[in-house]
């Protein structure tokens, strides 16, 4: 499946072949692989920003302030985070610590241009030790902080004095003194934006997005009156069966609350939680006063949560009328996800990825790889395709390792996120452009086990790309395929990225196996390739056609860069590629100065383009966008799709409450499947008509550049890649996710389920 060819220049131009060959002999295969790994690693591991304070460190803990943005912009509210790391066994406490403990209580006195700062509290963990019930956090936690500046747009200096208690076998009080300054300037997402968003998603809300509902009243009945005990009974419902529900109650400080006793009904979808209240006799007014109190209840069930205020009503809680009460021992917890099932989905998704639009740019590599083996040796064919499969596996493992490191650092993770980085796009444009020039015959790529001209030397079938060449081609195919999400792939990747390293490596191994299956199939039956017509002069035309496909890919990459950095930057990058093409063309015609430049120009140009695109976002014509905004290209897309509105998650609930049906499209310039969905479904036919006449309110969320708002929105659905579409309506307030590949039927059926909108198909 080699794509390497010899130059079509006259035989007397030997200097060219020697120069190009010397280049690629100097740049050993191991160096090429190392460059590929560094490129991926650099894309995933973004440079550390300044949106952080110094660490406050003790033997048991360390704490710091972080910010979700690099500047204040013009925002009326800035999202900060108070990050704690604890040594194994040590913990800190929730806002209501339970029977013992003191939570962190920041004092913001001494801050500059800070009007207020509100700490948000992620769902805690319950610790039951020797009859004591405490609530808090182990290992690590980030408390999101909503900071309101007095004068938006001006620098903000945050000074926090934070007393806190950390406990293991003993308890130790500490005070952290932290300082963080946010300068004036664009409120671009910082490296901590996704970390803070992850913990914001764990702050309890009303439960609607988790399918949970708490009753607004609870029954208050007598307990052991001699001990001053009462019992509070709370009823909760869930759209799916409960797994292991727990409830945390907050009220007067003199009261303490037991771990709940839980019983289920309605096949596990309704739960009664009975909590014993201690210390009632110490409450001024006793049980009568307790009946007048309003408590805060936080319901937790695995990763789901809900919070609301509870009124207490004296009397027993009546059993539900629709079903008998079952004891907790008689109810089977919800089954845990099956890793093997998701690995199978990953294999299927990787296999389907071979048919997705995003792999069309690498079709030239695959086509030439197959036809180049016509009449060849079966053993050589087998080795070549196995090497390509290994390249696919290696690239997927690099991606998995990067995502594991990225997640551990609390940074944004997702499928294809490297395409959000303009310097990665520029580097890929150089690589693809060089491949295209090779296919046009401007120069020779002399990979290991030197290859001859497949057209001029058809009689010498032994001259093929070496194993390392096939390996690198498999890796390149993987890189260019990652902007897309195939059916089943999104489900598998979402499962993996929401869990730990073991699941990530297992799922990505399944994806690699699926994408590599066609290669392995030909390796198992090499006759499928060797029975094709022997290579001959006809391959010159085929190489040129495939070269045009790769040239179009390079153009597409520059088009994406233009949407991120602007026209001027993209024009400069295009000029650089034109210079590279001119040097290769002149060298092909035997011009000695050009021949001398061939070894260094591609490398120098690649480095220059990478550095330029890394610097341009900070000094160029297009300022970094704030979270939730569309970039330049996104704004143009909204203009082109004039019936579409910019994404605003808060407004969705308002529209649904008014009886509207809302369609959300999370897209990006680099997502080819997204463009196909728009072209075939969203921007034409019955769906487009319903959007144009106002029956559907359409919103577009542009993820071309990193955006913590969109990343957090995707995470709510367990998705970490795009395309992603969801439909909301009066009958689907939490949203109905749509498949990755849209069809008119899928959209119209979801719209009908969500509300009262019926779309007549064209």
Average pLDDT over residues 688-695: 88
Query: DSSP per residue over 637-662, as a string?
Result: HHHHSTTEEE--HHHHHHHHHTT-EE
**Confidence (pLDDT) at 630:** 43
pLDDT at 468 over 60: yes
Average pLDDT over residues 325-344: 55
pLDDT at 685 over 70: yes
Average pLDDT over residues 476-504: 67
Task: Count Cα atoms within 13 angstroms, Cβ side, for 141.
Answer: 24
Query: Contact, 325 vs 310, CB < 8 A?
Result: no
pLDDT at 526 over 90: no
Distance CA 739, CA 751 (A): 14
- Report pLDDT digits (tens) over 20-51: 344 344 444 444 445 545 554 444 444 334 68
Distance CA 69, CA 708 (A): 10
Distance CA 272, CA 597 (A): 77
pLDDT bucket at 460, cuts 50 / 70 / 90: very low
Q: Cα 654 from chain centroid?
A: 27
**Confidence (pLDDT) at 58:** 93
Question: How much of the chain exceeds pLDDT 70, in percent?
Answer: 68
Q: Does the global pTM surpass 0.85?
A: no
Pairing of strands 270-278, 171-182: unpaired
**Confidence (pLDDT) at 170:** 86
pLDDT at 609 over 70: no
**Confidence (pLDDT) at 118:** 94
Distance CA 122, CA 142 (A): 8
Topology alike, domains 208-302 and 632-754: no
Distance CA 166, CA 163 (A): 10
pLDDT at 371 over 90: no
Distance CA 353, CA 331 (A): 41
pLDDT at 653 over 60: yes
Q: Please name every residue paired with 79 in a beta bridge, in sequence order, or none if there are none.
A: 146
Task: Report residue 510 as tokens.
Answer: 């399944």
pLDDT bucket at 741, cuts 50 / 70 / 90: confident
**Confidence (pLDDT) at 148:** 94
Average pLDDT over residues 312-325: 58
Higher model confidence: residue 410 or residue 248?
A: 248
Query: Contact, 410 vs 195, CB < 8 A?
Result: yes
Task: Report residue 625 as tokens.
Answer: 């966008």
- Report pLDDT digits (tens) over 74-107: 888 999 999 999 999 999 999 999 888 889 999 9
pLDDT bucket at 640, cuts 50 / 70 / 90: very low
**Confidence (pLDDT) at 754:** 87
Question: How much of the chain exceeds pLDDT 90, in percent?
Answer: 19
pLDDT at 67 over 80: yes
Other Cβ atoms less than 10 A from the Cβ of 293: the count is: 15
Query: Contact, 114 vs 150, CB < 8 A?
Result: yes
Q: Please name every residue paired with 314 in a beta bridge, in sequence order, or none if there are none.
A: 220
**Confidence (pLDDT) at 341:** 79
Higher model confidence: residue 681 or residue 338?
A: 681
Distance CA 446, CA 6 (A): 9
Higher model confidence: residue 628 or residue 240?
A: 240
Q: How open is the CA angle 715-720-725, to the nearest 5 degrees? A: 80
pLDDT at 10 over 90: no
Residues 6+ apart with CB under 8 A from 558: 425, 429, 570, 573, 574, 577
Distance CA 135, CA 300 (A): 12
- Report pLDDT digits (tens) over 751-761: 988 886 777 66
- Report pLDDT digits (tens) over 115-159: 999 999 999 999 887 677 899 999 999 999 999 999 998 999 999
pLDDT, the chain, mean: 75
Q: Which CATH architecture has domain 208-302?
A: Sandwich (2.60)
**Confidence (pLDDT) at 412:** 55
Across 10-14, 42-46, 481-485, 646-650, which has the greatest mean pLDDT? Answer: 646-650
pLDDT at 633 over 70: no
Higher model confidence: residue 290 or residue 563?
A: 290
**Confidence (pLDDT) at 450:** 35
Query: Contact, 630 vs 702, CB < 8 A?
Result: yes
Domain 632-754 has CATH 3.40.30.10: yes
pLDDT bucket at 670, cuts 50 / 70 / 90: confident
pLDDT bucket at 431, cuts 50 / 70 / 90: confident
Distance CA 184, CA 387 (A): 52
- Report pLDDT digits (tens) over 377-414: 677 778 878 888 898 899 888 888 877 876 666 555 56
Closest CA to 184 of 622, 614, 623: 623
pLDDT at 169 over 90: no
Average pLDDT over residues 158-169: 92
Average pLDDT over residues 161-169: 91
Higher model confidence: residue 523 or residue 223?
A: 523
Higher model confidence: residue 361 or residue 469?
A: 469
Distance CA 238, CA 268 (A): 8
State which fold the 56-190 domain adopts: Immunoglobulin-like (2.60.40)
pLDDT at 423 over 60: yes
Least confident of 196-205, 283-292, 687-696: 283-292
Least confident of 523-527, 529-533, 726-730: 529-533
pLDDT at 664 over 80: yes
**Confidence (pLDDT) at 722:** 80
What residue has token string 């110490």?
282
Q: In what order do the strands lie in the sheet with 61-67?
A: 56-57, 61-67, 78-86, 140-148, 116-119
Q: How open is the CA angle 638-194-611, to the nearest 5 degrees? A: 75
Least confident of 87-101, 434-448, 547-561, 656-670: 434-448
**Confidence (pLDDT) at 607:** 60
Q: Where are the domains of the chain?
A: 14-46+339-619, 56-190, 208-302, 632-754
**Confidence (pLDDT) at 91:** 94
**Confidence (pLDDT) at 523:** 81
pLDDT at 447 over 90: no
Distance CA 380, CA 385 (A): 9
């Amino acid at each position: 499946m080699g794509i390497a060819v010899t130059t079509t220049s006259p035989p007397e131009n030997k200097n060219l072949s020697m120069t190009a060959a010397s280049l690629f002999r100097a740049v050993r295969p191991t160096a090429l692989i190392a460059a590929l790994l560094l490129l991926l690693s650099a894309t995933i591991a973004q440079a550390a920003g300044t949106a952080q304070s110094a660490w406050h460190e003790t033997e048991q803990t360390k704490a710091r302030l972080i910010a979700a943005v690099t500047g204040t912009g013009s925002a009326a509210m800035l999202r900060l985070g108070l990050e704690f790391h604890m040594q194994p066994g040590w913990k800190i406490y929730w806002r209501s610590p339970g029977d013992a403990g003191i939570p962190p209580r920041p004092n913001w006195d001494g801050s500059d241009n800070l009007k207020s700062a509100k700490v948000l509290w992620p769902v805690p963990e319950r610790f039951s030790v020797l009859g004591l019930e405490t609530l808090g956090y182990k290992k690590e936690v980030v408390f999101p902080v909503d900071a309101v500046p007095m004068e938006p747009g001006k620098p903000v200096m945050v000074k926090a004095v934070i007393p806190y208690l950390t406990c293991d076998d003993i308890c130790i009080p500490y005070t952290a003194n932290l300082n963080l300054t946010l300068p004036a300037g664009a409120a671009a997402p910082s490296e901590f934006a996704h970390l803070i968003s992850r913990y914001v998603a764990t702050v309890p809300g009303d439960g609607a997005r988790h399918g949970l509902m708490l009753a607004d009243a609870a029954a208050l009945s007598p307990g052991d009156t001699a001990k001053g005990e009462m019992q509070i009974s709370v009823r909760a419902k869930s759209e799916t069966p409960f797994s292991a529900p727990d409830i945390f109650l907050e009220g007067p400080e003199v009261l303490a609350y037991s771990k709940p006793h839980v019983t289920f009904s309605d096949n596990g979808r309704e739960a009664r939680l009975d909590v014993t209240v201690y210390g009632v006799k110490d409450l001024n007014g006793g049980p009568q006063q307790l009946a007048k109190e309003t408590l805060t209840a936080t319901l937790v069930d695995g990763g789901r949560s809900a919070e609301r205020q509870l009124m207490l009503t004296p009397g027993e809680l009546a059993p539900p009328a629709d079903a008998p009460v079952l004891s907790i021992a008689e109810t089977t917890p919800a089954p845990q996800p099956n890793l093997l099932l998701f690995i199978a989905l990953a294999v299927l998704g990787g296999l389907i990825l071979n048919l997705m639009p995003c792999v069309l740019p690498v079709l030239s590599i695959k086509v030439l790889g197959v036809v180049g083996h016509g009449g060849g040796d079966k053993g050589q064919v087998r080795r070549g395709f196995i090497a390509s499969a290994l390249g696919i596996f290696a690239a997927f493992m690099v991606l998995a390792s990067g995502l594991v490191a990225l997640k551990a650092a609390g940074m944004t993770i997702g499928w294809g996120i490297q395409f959000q980085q303009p310097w990665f796009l520029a580097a890929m444009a150089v690589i693809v452009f060089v491949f295209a020039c090779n296919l046009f015959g401007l120069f020779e790529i002399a990979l290991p086990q030197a290859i001859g001209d497949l057209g001029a030397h058809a009689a010498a079938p032994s001259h093929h790309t070496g194993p390392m060449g096939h390996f690198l081609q498999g890796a390149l195919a993987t890189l260019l395929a990652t902007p897309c999400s195939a059916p089943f792939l999104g489900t598998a990747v979402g499962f993996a990225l929401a869990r730990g390293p073991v699941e990530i490596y297992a799922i990505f191994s399944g994806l690699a196996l699926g994408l590599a299956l066609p290669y392995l199939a030909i390796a198992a039956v090499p006759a499928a390739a060797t029975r094709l017509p022997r290579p001959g002069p006809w391959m010159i035309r085929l190489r040129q056609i495939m070269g045009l496909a790769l040239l179009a890919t390079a153009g597409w990459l520059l088009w994406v860069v233009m949407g991120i950095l602007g026209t001027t930057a993209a024009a400069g990058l295009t000029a650089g590629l034109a210079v590279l093409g001119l040097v290769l063309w002149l060298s092909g015609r035997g011009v000695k100065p050009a021949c001398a430049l061939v070894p260094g120009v591609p490398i120098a140009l690649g480095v220059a383009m990478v550095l330029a695109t890394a610097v341009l976002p900070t000094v160029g014509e297009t300022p970094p966008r704030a979270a939730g905004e569309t970039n330049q290209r996104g704004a143009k897309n909204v203009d082109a799709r004039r019936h579409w509105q910019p994404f605003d998650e808060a407004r969705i609930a308002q529209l649904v409450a008014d009886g509207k049906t809302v369609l959300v499209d999370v897209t990006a310039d680099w997502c080819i499947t997204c463009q196909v969905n728009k072209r075939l479904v969203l921007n034409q036919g019955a769906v487009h008509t319903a959007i144009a006449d106002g029956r559907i309110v359409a919103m577009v969320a542009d993820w071309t550049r990193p955006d913590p708002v969109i990343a957090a929105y995707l995470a709510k659905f367990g998705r970490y890649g795009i395309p992603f579409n969801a439909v909301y309506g009066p009958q689907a307030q939490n949203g109905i996710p749509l498949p990755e590949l849209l069809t008119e039927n899928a959209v119209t059926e979801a719209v009908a389920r969500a509300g009262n909108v019926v779309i007549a198909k064209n």
